Amino acid sequence: MPRDHRPVTSVRVLLAEDQGMMRGALALLLGMEDDIEVVAQVGAGDEIVDAALAARPDVALLDIELPGRSGLDAAADLRRECPDCRVLILTTFGRPGYLRRAMEAGAAGFLVKDGPVEELAEAVRRVLRGETVIDPALAAAALSAGPNPLTGREADVLKASVDGATVADIAGRLHLSESTVRNYLSAAIGKTGTRNRMEAVREARRQGWL
């Protein structure tokens, strides 16, 4: 069972950020806080769980768009593999759909990168205490945006369309019939209010649904 998240002398933090300069700057700035220690740094999403199992951080600070595996997927992995570790999403992309997906994955907080480091440090402390920390403007946008209208399969088909794959290619990748792929694409285009699948992909990404 997860332990109670009470304040400790030094908060152990894992950083997951694919841009080396940003990762180094965050580690330096957080490390200047008397009660925060950066115990692990990774640049890819598929390295997060192994690093967390080795370093046993109290808080994992995760970007969303990472090579290998997204921070949102990694958040769900951490909830299962490292239930003592609280997850705080820190991203450039303040999209309502991302916030909803982060909360569904078990994240305790969601912030955008344009805030001051003092607020980030305080957010780390707050999630460790068991609080939920969400950027206020993004929370308001998420409430007004409503839920993701795409089903899981519709999202899968749109993701498989990103590289310009043909319907036959998508059907082969997802083990579906071509007619089923066309039906999913048509539904996704209708739900995103767009004219074709590439516009549907762009709109779904803009909303944070993919």
The predicted-structure confidence for 179-198, as pLDDT tens digits, reads as follows 898 888 888 888 888 888 88
CA distance 176 to 160: 12
Q: In this predicted structure, what is the pLDDT of residue 58?
A: 96
Of the candidates 16, 64, 36, the one whose C-alpha atom is nearest the C-alpha of residue 126 is 36
CA distance 187 to 149: 10
The predicted-structure confidence for 124-168, as pLDDT tens digits, reads as follows 999 999 999 988 766 655 555 567 788 888 888 988 888 888 899
CA distance 88 to 85: 10
CA distance 146 to 141: 9
Q: In this predicted structure, what is the pLDDT of residue 142?
A: 58
Q: Is the Cβ–Cβ distance between 76 and 45 less than 8 Å?
A: no
pLDDT band (50, 70, 90) for residue 1 = very low
The whole-model pTM stands at 0.67
CA distance 53 to 138: 31
Give me the count of residues in the chain: 210
Distances (CA, A) of 177 to 88, 109, 165: 39, 40, 15
